[in-house]
Homo-oligomer: A and B are copies of this chain.
Amino acid sequence: MSIRIGIMGYGNLGRGIECAIKQNEDMELKAVFTRRAPESVSILTEGVQVYPADQILDHKEEIDVLILCGGSATDLPVQTPEYAKHFHVVDSFDTHAKIPQHFAAVDASAQEGGKVAVISCGWDPGMFSLNRLYAGAILPVGQDYTFWGKGVSQGHSDAIRRVNGVVDAKQYTIPVEEALEAVRSGSNPELTTRQKHLRECFVVATEGADKEKIETEIKTMPNYFADYDTIVHFISKDELDRDHSGIPHGGFVIRSGKTGWEGENSHIIEYSLKLDSNPEFTASVIVAYARAAYRMGQKGHKGCKTVFDIPPAYLSAMSGEELRAHLL
């Protein structure tokens, strides 16, 4: 019998979940829930219904794991605790600073409901966090470095769009190659914000706009750009749509550490991602953890879990015997 998945929220992430389910033979999409008018939402999987979000409890018996595809700012802080009372759930809550309070709220609900709730699942938080944990446990004397990109930052693209005279924009975060090489050399450099990443912006301006003024406004924007070397290109709307419609991302987690009686030997552990589609990859991670949530539930576990708490074997469709024989 397959694991029956429900999707709450059908944007880029929800669609990615749907695609990922198709790649996993032990799973099936059971239903999609939306706050929009269900008839306005057209999904890819034949024979699967879209229901109004507020009817979700009517489908409690049909769904093994509910995947929450809302945003971290306002949706998930409410939804995850609410639904963890009734379903095994997985979310991708990514406001790092608020994870402890989100964990506490979700744990209370999941304990009460006897369900497993996996929060902050994806690649950062998620796979990057895991790699920071493993590498730090293996090399306790050392230093962590996380670089992001090359990839699209939605937040920074939005910030540019709010500048007067800007029609549309896309911002790429790019790790600085020299900084990566310095870290990989084992020299444990201290790197400033500016030394680690640069920001490249593709901007469509309104006709007759003062481009110099727009460029200055972007480059001096506090928090978003002022601390970085920023490159601004003005392009046409057609060029933006043609060359910058993807949502690539990725990055690097590097631990540089020492071993030996006097710390005489150096080691570099590096984990990197190069992703054509940020939401589809995030969705793929979430779907693997949905399998884990289901299995942990079957074994009687309950409460809030993160990637740190979940035995890796639960993620794989293979049995323990197969894993040991083929992957170990």
Contacts and interface: CB of A to CB of B under 8 A. Distances in A.
Contact of A259 (B140, B280, B306): B280
Interface in A266-321: 266-277, 280-281, 283-285, 288, 291, 306-313, 315-317, 320-321
Contact of A268 (B16, B274, B310): B274
B311 A23 contact: no
A137 interface: yes
Q: How many copies does the complex hold?
A: 2
A138, A261, A268, A316 interface centre (most CB from chain B within 10 Å): A138
Interface residues of A, number: 69
Interface stretch (A62-70, A126-134, A172-180, A224-232): A126-134
Given A19-B260, A265-B276, A267-B281, A312 B307 contact: yes
Interface stretch (A95-103, A200-208, A213-221): A95-103
Interface of A: 16, 18-20, 22-24, 44, 96, 99-100, 103, 120, 125, 127, 129-134, 136-141, 184, 259-261, 265-277, 280-281, 283-285, 288, 291, 306-313, 315-317, 320-321, 323-325, 327-328
Given A100-B324, A138-B285, A266-B276, 14 more contacts: A24-B140, A130-B312, A134-B315, A137-B316, A138-B315, A259-B277, A259-B284, A265-B280, A267-B274, A307-B312, A308-B313, A308-B327, A309-B311, A310-B311
